[in-house]
Chains A and B, each alone.
Chain A
Amino acid sequence: MDNFLSFFSTHQQMIYIVILMIFVGIEVIGRVPAVLHTPLMSGANAIHGVVIIGAIIVMGKAEHDNYLALILGFIAVIVGTLNVVGGFVVTDRMLEMFKKKK
């Protein structure tokens, strides 16, 4: 229990962010038209690619003889980048097609 409470007190700032972001996330896309469901999902998909930051940190602090960290970290950076770059490019391609014709 003590562990539990200390977890809360050390993380209170983070926990506030979590709660607020849940509401922001719901509020922000609340009135999205069905037309945009697919691009929005794809855009959100690209945004969670932010996990790549973790991969970069793992990779960056891996010791030179720690092969597990080096190899897994390297793969993590690759797949994370795939998520970010692929996600944003696919979304852009979808949205490009919505362009109004002159």
Chain B
Amino acid sequence: MNILILSYLIASVTFILGLKMLSNPATARKGNLIAATGMVIAILATIFLYEEDGVKLGNYGWIFGGILIGTVGGTLAAKKVKMTAMPEMVSLFNGMGGACAMLISIVEFDHLINIVPIEPFGRGLGKLNFGGYIGTLSIIIIGCIIGSVSFAGSMVAWGKLNGRVKDISFKGQQFISIALLLVILGLAGYLISNSVLLVPHTFYLIVFLSLIYGIFFVMPIGGADMPVVISLLNSFTGVAAACGGFLYDNKAMLTGGILVGAAGTLLTILMCKAMNRSLSNVLIGNFGGSSAVSGGAKAQGTYKEISLSDTAVLLSYSNRVYIVPGYGLAVAQAQHACHELEKLLAEKGVEVKYAIHPVAGRMPGHMNVLLAEADVSYDLLKEMEEANDEFNSTDAVLILGANDVVNPAAKTDPSSPIYGMPILDVELAKNVIVNKRSMKPGYAGIENELFFRPKTSMLFGDAKKVIQDLIGEVKNL
């Protein structure tokens, strides 16, 4: 038993240390490994050392069977997933954690109603008895609600990111959501206060309604805001795990859960800040909904196209070129071609850098990861502020599949849904070349005035193909 306590202590420390190291680029990978090691220690210690009233755990076949299936499945899924699909993978794994918390609560509830009944504050509850029956019941219900919401919400977020689920919002949806939440809380309160006459059905109704609420919670939120939602659900699952910590008087679960709950909440707020929006603004669901129309329609006019050879000449004879990558680059898997173009231009004496908007792509840091995959040097990736200072002295900006992050409407049009978000001021450069597949608006569903500006030239086509052709043209010069 003492070794078990020590193991949990070690695990808790590795979680804190791991999270700390994860927030620094130099130590991040090691931090992840340290936290993983702590987790393995905690899991093994639980399996072999945990005992309740002197009885060790049984069912080893089931336990190891489950772990084996989960390990093989998790490793395969995580190894095979494409770079562009990583955000939805994180969402899926988060949902699994939520489901785990939900299932634990269901089994413990069943356990509770089967042993207690005669004495409401009864003994005979074994380990579960600390803090009394009502405390235990409350923790089970809270963990169950949060876990279920997190599970259902993450599944919807996962579906939205891979395009299987569309944004659905209708009038009064928010009211239904709030009403649903109130009903859940009311039922939970009823169940806890009348716990002597436990009605199992009420509990299962709570589980069911929580799942529905999770779906309603995420449904109206636009796909572009999914990272923020996933981060929020991530911290929810943390809290659900912490409820398990209370239930089993388990310090490792408690520390890990609360740590993620707090850090996840802060991270959510940081992500919102990067987009200059408030959390409530994101949750009420401004993007992709009906309000997006208001910003559109205005930007009309003529745009001009540029040929590949002209682009090649322009880029080759520039002194400084900035590349602005966006989700289109990730979708086209054009990061390697992009790196090749950058090297080729650099050989010709052109200074090439990348301007990374904090929310370019589908997740903060998405572009950094993508370009790092193609071996682009870390020093060439410039953050927004730095890039904005240098656009003045830049000859050409090449925008590859980015849209909303360079949309001037964010600065000029208060009716636009992205109004107030800091953008890359590419217009300060002498020339702007935009590569897009068509004139369709970006993910937020808003027209982009930038495309109609005199400095801007459009270069239509799939990012990968265009860049490869561009490389050919530059070589032929």
- CB-nearest residue of chain A to B257: A48
Chain B, 339-382, CB within 8 A of any chain A CB: 356, 358, 363-366, 368-369, 372-373, 375, 377-378, 381
Tell whether, in the assembled complex, residue A34 and residue B108 are in contact, meaning their CB atoms are under 8 Å apart: no
Segment touching A, from B34-42, B277-285, B459-467: B34-42
CB distance from A45 to the nearest CB of B (A): 5
Please tell me if B209 contacts chain A, counting CB pairs below 8 Å.
no
Please tell me if B175 contacts chain A, counting CB pairs below 8 Å.
no
CB distance from A59 to the nearest CB of B (A): 5
- The residue that B234 contacts in the complex, of A18, A25, A41, A94, with Cβ under 8 A, is A41
Please tell me if B170 contacts chain A, counting CB pairs below 8 Å.
no
Tell whether, in the assembled complex, residue B264 and residue A44 are in contact, meaning their CB atoms are under 8 Å apart: yes
Chain A, 36-92, CB within 8 A of any chain B CB: 36-62, 68-70, 72-92
Tell whether, in the assembled complex, residue B78 and residue A72 are in contact, meaning their CB atoms are under 8 Å apart: no
Please tell me if B77 contacts chain A, counting CB pairs below 8 Å.
yes
Tell whether, in the assembled complex, residue A14 and residue B18 are in contact, meaning their CB atoms are under 8 Å apart: no
Tell whether, in the assembled complex, residue B63 and residue A59 are in contact, meaning their CB atoms are under 8 Å apart: yes
Tell whether, in the assembled complex, residue A80 and residue B100 are in contact, meaning their CB atoms are under 8 Å apart: yes
In the complex, chain B residues whose CB is within 8 Å of the CB of A18:
242, 254, 258
CB distance from A37 to the nearest CB of B (A): 4
Q: What is the interface size of chain B, counting residues whose CB is below 8 A from a CB of the partner?
A: 120
Tell whether, in the assembled complex, residue A56 and residue B47 are in contact, meaning their CB atoms are under 8 Å apart: yes
- The residue that A29 contacts in the complex, of B19, B42, B89, B373, with Cβ under 8 A, is B19
- The residue that B67 contacts in the complex, of A23, A57, A70, A77, with Cβ under 8 A, is A77
Tell whether, in the assembled complex, residue A36 and residue B365 are in contact, meaning their CB atoms are under 8 Å apart: yes
Tell whether, in the assembled complex, residue B246 and residue A14 are in contact, meaning their CB atoms are under 8 Å apart: yes
Main secondary structure on chain B at its contact with chain A? Answer: helix
Please tell me if B445 contacts chain A, counting CB pairs below 8 Å.
no
A24-B262, A47-B18, A89-B75 are known contacts. Are A57 and B97 too (CB-CB below 8 A)?
A: no
The 10 tightest CB contacts between A and B, nearest first, are: A81-B70, A60-B57, A25-B262, A77-B66, A86-B74, A85-B74, A37-B364, A89-B78, A50-B256, A32-B23
CB distance from A32 to the nearest CB of B (A): 4
Q: A38-B366, A87-B78 are in contact. List 12 more A-B contacts (CB 8 A).
A: A25-B262, A32-B22, A36-B22, A36-B23, A44-B259, A48-B97, A54-B101, A60-B59, A92-B33, A95-B29, A96-B29, A99-B29
CB distance from B10 to the nearest CB of A (A): 13
CB distance from B170 to the nearest CB of A (A): 30
Please tell me if B303 contacts chain A, counting CB pairs below 8 Å.
no
A49-B39, A51-B237, A51-B241 are known contacts. Are A28 and B20 too (CB-CB below 8 A)?
A: yes
CB distance from A57 to the nearest CB of B (A): 6
Please tell me if B11 contacts chain A, counting CB pairs below 8 Å.
yes
Tell whether, in the assembled complex, residue A54 and residue B29 are in contact, meaning their CB atoms are under 8 Å apart: no
List chain A positions with a Cβ less than 8 A from chain B.
3, 6-7, 10-11, 14, 17-18, 21-26, 28-62, 68-70, 72-101
Chain B, 56-110, CB within 8 A of any chain A CB: 56-60, 62-63, 65-67, 69-71, 73-75, 77-79, 81, 86-87, 89-90, 92-94, 96-97, 99-101, 103-104, 106-108, 110
CB distance from A74 to the nearest CB of B (A): 5
In the complex, chain A residues whose CB is within 8 Å of the CB of B244:
51, 53-54
Main secondary structure on chain A at its contact with chain B? Answer: helix
Can you give 26 contacting A-B residue pairs, CB < 8 Å?
A3-B132, A14-B254, A25-B259, A29-B20, A32-B267, A38-B90, A40-B22, A40-B28, A47-B238, A47-B256, A48-B237, A49-B93, A50-B253, A53-B250, A53-B252, A54-B241, A54-B247, A57-B46, A73-B103, A76-B99, A77-B67, A79-B100, A81-B70, A83-B74, A85-B70, A91-B22
- CB-nearest residue of chain A to B36: A88
In the complex, chain B residues whose CB is within 8 Å of the CB of A48:
94, 97, 234, 237-238, 240-241, 256-257, 260-261
Q: How far is the CA of A100 from the CA of B25 in the complex (A)?
A: 11
Q: How far is the CA of A96 from the CA of B259 in the complex (A)?
A: 24
In the complex, chain A residues whose CB is within 8 Å of the CB of B254:
14, 17-18, 21
Tell whether, in the assembled complex, residue A49 and residue B97 are in contact, meaning their CB atoms are under 8 Å apart: yes
CB distance from B437 to the nearest CB of A (A): 25
B74, B101, B378 interface centre (most CB from chain A within 10 Å): B74
Please tell me if B318 contacts chain A, counting CB pairs below 8 Å.
no
Tell whether, in the assembled complex, residue A33 and residue B25 are in contact, meaning their CB atoms are under 8 Å apart: yes
In the complex, chain A residues whose CB is within 8 Å of the CB of B22:
29, 32, 36, 39-40, 43-44, 91
- CB-nearest residue of chain A to B50: A57
In the complex, chain A residues whose CB is within 8 Å of the CB of B23:
28-29, 31-33, 36, 40
Tell whether, in the assembled complex, residue B134 and residue A46 are in contact, meaning their CB atoms are under 8 Å apart: no
In the complex, chain B residues whose CB is within 8 Å of the CB of A10:
130-132, 135
In the complex, chain A residues whose CB is within 8 Å of the CB of B73:
78, 82, 86
Q: How far is the CA of A53 from the CA of B409 in the complex (A)?
A: 50
